[in-house]
Structure 1
């Protein structure tokens, strides 16, 4: 019997690729470089944190959660000497729009238009209390153009879910590094996640030891039944925290949104690297 998937998670599977695609696209990187942000991680940290203003590293370490502090500190606040937050915001919209223009060239415009209308209704109904990244993105002016608006709406919604996920991880008593170690025990690879998030071997191994002592992992590094149960609980908490916004929609509206987003998500996911840190399940 197929496992039932929470509607909030099923929708995240569809709108997350639209946002995440720009982290891996040549158009996204070119837009940041044109703004003076040369080097992948300068563009990433500047673009994603720009809604918060010209912040120091500490708030970003807290909000992004799974990045090693030293990695964030290499980028912030130095990036603001290279580009203002306003320039970074303009670059990320330009890069996202150019990426989606290429990737969604065969997708019917009416699917994008209907998706934008429904997703923006969802954004308008969000309660962002306690969700720093979602609230910072939600108050930004909506960009012009359907593709830019599609990207902006999916960005607000994914950061809203992400803020809730961080809260669930904190409630479970997990650190950023420990959360990544658990994920590797479930469905990912250390050589990718450790590199992408900047943790040292010593930090990673220490996190593994702590998780083993707490019963999340077996001595061989595999997830234990207790660890899997705790992970399932935090994922359920993430779904619950993301679900309220969708309760204001009729079932047929959500079914229509899912149908409209499916070809959009499929086109975007086809552009993502097979191994990536986004956390989407394999396949459609």
Structure 2
């Protein structure tokens, strides 16, 4: 596996505790954010401030606009961005505390995240601008978040470079992995929108009449993933990645049990 992608498979489970771990979900519910998506949109968008739906739709990319509009800006009448940041940090740190993460891993990840170039990467930049938490588990979580949003921002760039919109990206992935049941509902697209996106991909020769990826579609997808890896590589330069892999693997493997499979993140089962 490409080493940059391997690192993503290790940091993504650590970041994802904020969405799936019971401790993190409980932290959101304690401040009145009941329901998965209220916590998701409040926590992930909070570094941007009290934004409306439009920039979040653009940056989160794969969500249908109406799904984002149901959450924003209404969510800021329930919790301030500052309180959402405190809540997500407390919940994530609590979730990581019992899963074998170390101060050494936190320091290595923080060094990598601190060196990430965030020009043109709004989600990474917003998270990178937050102060370093004193608690090592919170610091580790924020570092993984900066690095995964850095990769995610680059992934959006790769998709846009390929002329792919948010719905098409999901249909394209379904054509390869067969995950429509997981992807469509979790991102809010209607059957009509999904079918229209598939028709656009078919016109490019990337899917066939049954919605399966063609050889050309698979090749284009592979190039897009390679570009994503290339765009994600910069923060890891100078990092002792072998040591980091050794430190993160036990925690990442343990955390796979709190993540649903299949999942919209594209994370493979550990």
Alignment TM-score, normalising by the size of structure 1: 0.92
Aligned to 1:267: 254
Alignment-derived partner of residue 227 in structure 2:
237
Q: Which sits farther off after the overlay, 65-74 or 15-24?
A: 15-24
For 2:7 and 2:179, the matched residues in 1 are separated by: 25
Gaps of 5+ in 2: none
Q: 1:224 aligns with which of 214, 220, 228?
A: 214
CA drift at 1:275: 2.3
Q: In the alignment, which of 49, 57, 61 is matched to residue 65 of structure 1?
A: 61
Contact 1:21 1:269 in 2 (8 A): no
Give 1:258's aligned residue. 245
Aligned equivalent of 1:184: 174
Match of 1:21 among 17, 22, 26: 17
CA deviation map 1:145-169 (0-9, x unaligned):
1111111110000000000000000
Structure 2 residue 149 is the aligned partner of structure 1 residue 162: no
Residues 175-205 of structure 1 deviation map (CA, whole Å, 9 limit, x = unaligned): 1000001111122421111111000111011
TM-score by length of 2: 0.97
State the match for 2:76 in structure 1. 80
Could you list the runs of 4 or more consecutive aligned residues of structure 1 that deviate by over 4 angstroms after TM superposition?
A: none
Question: Aligned partners of 2:35, 2:49: CA distance in 1, in Å?
Answer: 20
C-alpha separation in 2, matches of 1:87 and 1:76: 16
2:107 is aligned to 117
Call closer, same or farther: CA 1:279–1:132 in 2, change over 3 Å.
Answer: same
Alignment of 1:13-162 (within 5 A): 13-102=9-98, 104=99, 107=100, 112-162=102-152
**Within 1, Cα distance between the matches of 2:117 and 2:37?**
30
Unaligned runs of 5+ in 1: none
Secondary structure of residue in 2 paired with 1:270: helix
1:8 aligns with 2:4: yes
Q: Which moved more, 1:169-178 or 1:93-102?
A: 93-102
Q: How many Å apart are 1:21 and its aligned residue?
A: 2.4
The 1-side partners of 2:217 and 2:259 are apart by 29
CA-atom RMSD in angstroms: 1.2
Measure, in 2, the Cα distance between the counterparts of 1:161 and 1:35: 30
Give the number of aligned pairs: 270
Partner Cα separation in structure 2 for residue 240 and residue 118 of structure 1: 21
Q: CA deviation at 1:40?
A: 1.5
The separation in 2 between residues aligned to 1:134 and 1:181, in whole angstroms, is: 26
Deviation of 1:38 after TM superposition, in Å, equals: 2.1
